[in-house]
Amino acid sequence: MKNFLGVVLATTLFFVLFTGGAFSADNPIIIGLQAPITGDYAIEGLMAKQCVETAAELINKNGGINGQPIQIVIADDASNPKDSALAAQKLISQKVVAAIASYGSSVTEPAADLYDRSKMVSVGYGCTAVRLTMSKQRPFFFRTCGRDDSQGQFFAKFAVEVMGWKRIALMHDNQTYGKGVAEETRKSLEPYIKEGKAEIVYYDAITPKEKDYSAVITKLRETNPDVWYYTAYYPEAGLLVRQGREAGITIPFVGSNAVPNDDFVKIAGLEYAKETLMTQEPMPQDINTPISQVFLDAYKAKYGDIPSSPWPIYAADGLFALVRAIKNAGSTDTQAIADAMHSMTIAEGVTGKIFFTDRGDRKDIPYAMYVYNDKGKLELYKPAAK
Amino acid sequence: MGTFFEQLVNGLTVGSFYALVALGYSMVYGVMKLINFAHGDLFAFGSYLGYTFLIWGSSWITTHFGVWGGMASAILFAFAGTGIAGILVEKVAYRPVYPAGRLPLVVSALGMSIFLQNGIMAIWGPRFQAYPSETVPSLAFNLFGVHVTILKVFILGLSFLLMFLIYYIVEKTAFGAAVRATALDRETATLLGIDIRKVIFFIFALGPALGGLAGVMNGMYYRSIQFNMGWNYGLKAFTATILGGIGNIPGAMIGGLLLGILETLFAGYFPGGGAWKDVFIFLVLIMVLIWRPNGLIGEKMAEKV
C-alpha cells in the first residue's frame, strides 16, 4: 500500500513537473509583471500594475487565451538593478509563462539577462537604451517602447528645423537611459552643427538622488542657451525646473520621455511645470486605435483617471503582444512563444499594431512634442506660427 | 564675479544643511562614541512631520499666524517631534545594547536606520510628497547682481544662529562643561557628580531635533521629500563630520560648510564637474585624512588605557 501510494505520488509529480507546457482548462496561464512598486519611480510601477491588470481583465472577459484565463503575478524590483535580479529570479522560480519587465534601462538589463538565460520571454515596457537590444542578441527579450536614438533624432530635428533653437544645452544623469538619450541627441545634432545651424553650449551630467542642483544650474545659465534639454527621470527634473526658474532661467525646458508624469508637476510646482515641453511617445488620450478607447474607458472606470505617463500603456501592450503570441504558438512552450513574438503580424495593442524586429525592438514608434498646460496636464504642442 | 559670489551662496546653502545634520552626528559621537546611523532617517522623519503639520493645519495656521508663523510653528513642531523620537530611539535601540560594546551598538544603529526608513515608507507611502506652496514664502531679489531668494537668506541665517547657540551652550555654560566632561571620560565624570543620564538625554533630544529641523527646512526649500532622502544627507553629513573632526562642534560646522562650498564650486567651475563632483569630494576627504587623521580641526583623542 505504501509502495502504491509512492508510485501514484511520483507519477503525479512527473506529470505536474514535465507537462506544464500543455494547455489545461482549469489552470490559468500565469504571466509575471516586474515593476517598480516601491522605490524612486513607484508611481510608474503602480500605474503599470493597474494597466496590466486592466488589460488582463479585458482579455479574460473576451475568453482569455482559447478559453483559458490569464492571471498576473507581480514582482517588485524597487527601481534598482539588485532587486531587479531578485524579482526576475522570483518570477522564474514561480514558473510564469512569460514576464513583462521592466521600467528603467539599468534596472531591466540584469533581469533581461536572467530571463534570457532561463529561456523565458520577457517584454520591456519602459527601457529605451539602445544597447539593450543592440549590444548583444537576446532571443527572448522584446520591448514595446521605442529606443533612445529615435528620440534623440526627433529632438534634434524639432529643435533646429521647427523651433530654430541654436544654442542647445544638454543635461543628463549619467545613468544608462539618461546618458543614452543625451549621447544620441548629440550625435543627431552633429550634421546641424557642421552646417552652423546649432551649437552645443553645455553638456554635463548631474548626480541623481540629490536635492540641490544650484551649482550646475548657475553654470548652465552662464552659457546663455536657447533651450535646455534634460534627458533623465522626473524626480531630478522637477527639482531642476524649480531651482532653474528660481535662479532666473527663462528659456524653454524640454524633458525627455521619463520626465512627464504627475509627480514631476508636484515636485516642480504647477507654476513652474506649466509650459515645460516634453519629447515623448503619444499620450494615451492622443492614441486612436480600436483598443485604446475600450482600454482607457475600462481604466478610467476603475481608477478615476487615465494614466499620467505613456509607459504603463506599453506594459499593457506587452501583455496584449504576449497573449497574441501564446495564441499563435498554440502552447506555452517558451521557444514557441519567442518564435511567435518574432513572426507576429496582427497583434493589436493600445498603441497600435505591434511588430518586432529580429533584435526584439518594436517597429514604427512615433514621437511627438508635448507641453504642460495651466492645469498640469499634457497636451500636444503646437509651435506658434512665425 | 557676480556668478562666483552666487555659486558661493549656493554652496553655503547646501553646506548649512550638511552642517546642521553633521552637528547632530558629532554631538552624539562626542558623548556616546557611537556613529548614529539612524540620524539621517531622523532628518527625513522631521521633514515628514513638518509636512504633515503643514498639510493638516495649513489653513488654520495661515489665517492665525500668517505664512511666517506657519513656517515657524512647523519648524518647532518637527524640532520637538524629532527630539522625542531621538529619545525613544536611544531608549529602545541603544541603551540596552550599550554594555555589549561598540560593534553591537553600530549594528543596532544600522537596524534603527532601516526600521525608520521603512516606517516612514509604510506611513507616508513610497511616492514623492511636496510641501504645499502656499505655506512657503517665495520671494527673489537681486543683491549686487546676485540672485538670492528670501528663503535662502532665512535658512542660512537660522542655521548660523543655531550653530552658534549650540556652540555657546556646549562651550560656555556649566551644563556644557558637564557634556564635555562626559565626552572626555564617562567614569570620571560620574565620580565628579555629573548626572550622565541627563547629559545623554540632552544629547539625544537635541542632536536628532537639529536633524529634524534641518529636515523641515530642507522640505520647505526644495519642496519635494521622499522616504529615503535621509540616506544621502546622512552620508554627506557623516563625511562632513569626519572632515571637520568627529566629536567636535566647530569641526562639524566647518566641515559641513566646507563640503557644500567645495562641491558647489567644483560642479560649477570644473568641466564635467556635475558628474565628477562626488569623486572629487571623497578624494578631498581622503587627502585630509592622510594629512590630518583627526580631521581639519579635530584634537587628538586621548585613548583610554
| Confidence band, pLDDT 50/70/90 cuts, at residue A21 | very low
d(CA A306, CA B226): 24
What global pTM score does this model have?
Answer: 0.81
Q: Which residues contact A243 (CB under 8 A, 6 or more apart)?
A: A212, A213, A214, A217, B222
Which pLDDT score is estimated for A2? 52
Please judge whether B267 and A219 are an interchain contact, meaning their C-beta atoms are less than 8 angstroms apart. Answer: yes
The helix/strand/coil state of B172 is helix
**Residue A48 to chain B, least CA–CA distance (Å):** 15
Contacting residues of A for B130, CB less than 8 Å apart: 266-267, 269
Residue carrying C-alpha cell 492645469? A375
d(CA A150, CA A156): 10
All domains of chain A, ordered by start, with CATH? 28-146+287-354 (3.40.50.2300), 149-280+368-380 (3.40.50.2300)
| Residue A301: C-alpha distances to residues A54, A295, A312 (Å) | 10, 10, 17
Q: Is the peptide bond before A343 cis (omega within 30 degrees of 0)?
A: no
Which pLDDT score is estimated for B302? 47
Chain A residue with the nearest C-alpha to that of B13: A212
Which pLDDT score is estimated for A22? 45
d(CA A346, CA A355): 8
d(CA A330, CA B78): 61
The half-sphere exposure of A23 on its side-chain side, counting CA atoms within 13 A, is: 13
H-assigned helices in chain A: 2-18, 42-61, 81-93, 105-117, 131-134, 148-157, 176-195, 214-222, 234-246, 262-268, 270-273, 290-303, 311-329, 334-343
H or E segment to which residue A279 belongs: strand A277-280
* pLDDT tens column, A140-198: 999 999 888 889 999 999 999 999 999 999 999 998 889 989 999 999 999 999 999 99
Interface probe with A: pick from B222, B229, B236, most Cβ of A within 10 Å? B222
Identify which of B271, B6, B225 has the alpha carbon closest to the alpha carbon of residue A248: B6
Q: Which residues contact B230 (CB under 8 A, 6 or more apart)?
A: B39, B40, B41, B42, B43, B44, B45, B113, B116, B117, B215
Facing residue for A206 by CB, picked from B133, B149, B274: B274
Contacting residues of B for A206, CB less than 8 Å apart: 274-275
Which pLDDT score is estimated for B145? 65
Q: Using only the alpha carbons of chain A, give its radius of gyration.
A: 22
d(CA A219, CA B42): 33
Q: Name the pairing type of β-strands A29-35 and A347-349.
A: unpaired
Which pLDDT score is estimated for B303? 45
pLDDT at position A230 over 80: yes
User: What average pLDDT does the segment A255-275 reach?
Assistant: 91
**Residue A105 to chain B, least CA–CA distance (Å):** 19
* pLDDT tens column, A282-293: 887 788 888 888
User: What average pLDDT does the segment B249-265 reach?
Assistant: 92
| Residue B131: C-alpha distances to residues B15, B45, B116, B216, B220 (Å) | 22, 14, 21, 9, 6
* Residues of A within an 8 Å Cβ radius of B: 37-40, 42-43, 171, 174, 204-207, 209-212, 214-216, 218-219, 222, 235, 238-239, 242-243, 246-248, 263, 266-267, 269, 271
For B90-211, list the strands marked E by DSSP: 129-130, 140-143, 146-149
Task: Cell numbers for A210, please give them.
Answer: 540629490
**Residue B117 to chain A, least CA–CA distance (Å):** 12
Interface probe with A: pick from B128, B133, B259, most Cβ of A within 10 Å? B128
Strand partners, A126: A103
H or E segment to which residue B252 belongs: helix B249-269
Please judge whether A204 and B11 are an interchain contact, meaning their C-beta atoms are less than 8 angstroms apart. Answer: no
CB neighbourhood size of A117 (10 A): 12
Strand partners, A104: none
Please judge whether B14 and A212 are an interchain contact, meaning their C-beta atoms are less than 8 angstroms apart. Answer: yes
Please judge whether A211 and B226 are an interchain contact, meaning their C-beta atoms are less than 8 angstroms apart. Answer: no
Identify which of A144, A119, A125 has the alpha carbon closest to the alpha carbon of residue A336: A119
Percentage above 90 pLDDT, chain A: 62
| Confidence band, pLDDT 50/70/90 cuts, at residue B134 | confident
Q: Using only the alpha carbons of chain B, give its radius of gyration.
A: 19
| Residue A149: C-alpha distances to residues A104, A183, A365 (Å) | 16, 9, 12
Burial A326-337 (b: 16+ CB within 10 A, else e): bebbeebbbebb
User: What average pLDDT does the segment B213-217 reach?
Assistant: 93
Identify which of A372, A238, A268 has the alpha carbon closest to the alpha carbon of residue B138: A268
Percentage above 90 pLDDT, chain B: 50
Which pLDDT score is estimated for A19? 44
Helix B273-291 crosses helix B229-244 at what angle (to 10 degrees)? 40
